[in-house]
Amino acid sequence: MSLTDLKCRTAKPKDKAYRLVDSGGLFLDMSPTGRRTWRLKYRFQGKEKLLTIGPYPAISILDARIKSEAAKERLLSGLDPCQLKQDEKKLAEFKNAQTVELIAMEWYRKNLSTWAPSYGKNVLSRLKLNVFPFIGQHPISKITVQHILVCAQKVENRGKSDLAHRVLQMIGQIMRYAVVTGRAERDLTVDLRGALKKYRKGHFASIDIDELPKLLKALERNDVRLFRQTVLAIRLILLTFVRTSELINATWGEFDLKKKLWHIPPERMKTRIAHTVPLSSQTIEILMELKKLYGEDGYILPSAFKRGKPMSNNAILTALGRLGYKKKMTGHGFRSLAMSAIKERLNYRHEVVDRQLAHQPKNKIDKAYDRAMFLPDRIKMMQQWADYIDRVSGKDKNLVKARVTPEKLRKSSGIRRCR
């Protein structure tokens, strides 16, 4: 005879566990403590097994029967209901353990070797400051669009619209990685297009070509009493127009002073491609001065406070601010300054300057060329650029007109001095 809900509710516990049998192998297991649990007795591959369906009254007698029939259907398909339940439980535990932070760090480590060190450091910092505190512990399978939106808006509300867009983009990359690895259904950031405030993407601050002499004079006077190392660093970045991180992390082992070449290894480049920088005579002079100041081991621009580490990444930017160029000039701005000046004043083709800037070719035809193809042109260009800087600063002795002395005038006109 089948059970009724009344009989299940009024059943009393006994000294020993006992069963209230329903039908088809379903029964209510009564424990001495009063706990009541639905279970299904069945046979699989000749062995008797018990499937725990769940507690009563949380699971009613009707629901227990429905779950029992579903288990029997699985049996007819040759599947063990107990094993399936264990698998589902393990899968649920696995999904709950796949938090945003866990997957983000996995994604971070997977891509770290392809990033420049400075970029990898920025990515990790943004994750720790702008993502992990808000959604880091959420299972990624349970993240909603609203969770992500709130996370990005917290950054936006700090007045950092640009960073908010970058954070949203980064979360999208993490979610796509989770989709590929089977831990998320889809990238939810797609639904947030247009959700954040639009912003105008700006360029790194840079002075105009005609303002260069004034900056050079301010650097020469050094009224703000910058460290000699900082002055030399600014001159180096002006002469070589590499990225700030590429300069401050440079070591003596990268330089071939005899051949006047600086070979930057791929792991230090943004493009992850090795880059060669021809060195002008003026650049060599600065490097020789740095050798006298700090020796020829380790970094060419070591930290003044912590030996074995490079100078601060903000040293050049801070120094430019002290010289009166805050928000007017940046270390990266020397790249655009050089690009404009070399093309307009020295009449070099865009391809030669662009190659010296280590920009990644944008089309297949450009990519087919050897990156060292313009090296002879670049060697000549870098020396002319250094000479141009000397000329506009009034320091180029070779380009200053020689004074016409009476002796020179007589020689040129064929007049001899009378004795």
Distance from C-alpha of 69 to C-alpha of 40, rounded to nearest angstrom: 10
Q: Which of 39, 176, 359, 380 is catalytic?
A: 359
Residue from 243, 268, 275, 378 carrying the catalytic annotation: 243
Tokens found for residue 375: 């090296």
d(CA 112, CA 86): 37
359 carries an active-site annotation: yes
Name the catalytic one among 260, 332, 355, 378: 332
d(C-alpha 98, C-alpha 199), whole Å: 33
Residue 332 annotated among the catalytic residues of the structure = yes
User: Distance between CA 202 and CA 18 in Å, rounded?
Assistant: 76
Active site residue 183: no
* SS3 of the chain: helix, strand, coil, percent, to 5: 55, 10, 35
Query: Is 349 among the residues known to form the active site?
Result: no
What sign results for the dihedral spanned by CA atoms 383, 389, 393, 399? positive
Looking up tokens 């619209």 gives 161
Single-letter amino acid, residue 105? M
CA distances from 254 to 185, 273, 291 (A): 47, 15, 14
Lookup: tokens for 351: 């391809």
Q: Is 215 helix (H, G, I), strand (E, B) or coil?
A: helix
Closest CA to 279 of 296, 252, 258: 258
Cα–Cα distance for residue pair 15/23, rounded to 1 Å: 25
Catalytic residue among 67, 235, 335, 378: 335
Q: Distance of CA 18 to CAs 29, 34, 133, Å?
A: 6, 11, 50
Please write down the long-range contacts of 283-289, taking CB distance under 8 Å and 24 or more positions apart: 283/236, 283/239, 283/240, 283/382, 283/386, 284/257, 284/260, 286/232, 286/235, 286/236, 286/239, 287/255, 287/257, 288/257, 289/232
Which of 85, 270, 345, 391 is flagged as catalytic? Answer: 270
Catalytic residue among 369, 395, 410, 411: 369
| Active site (catalytic) residues | 243, 270, 332, 335, 359, 369
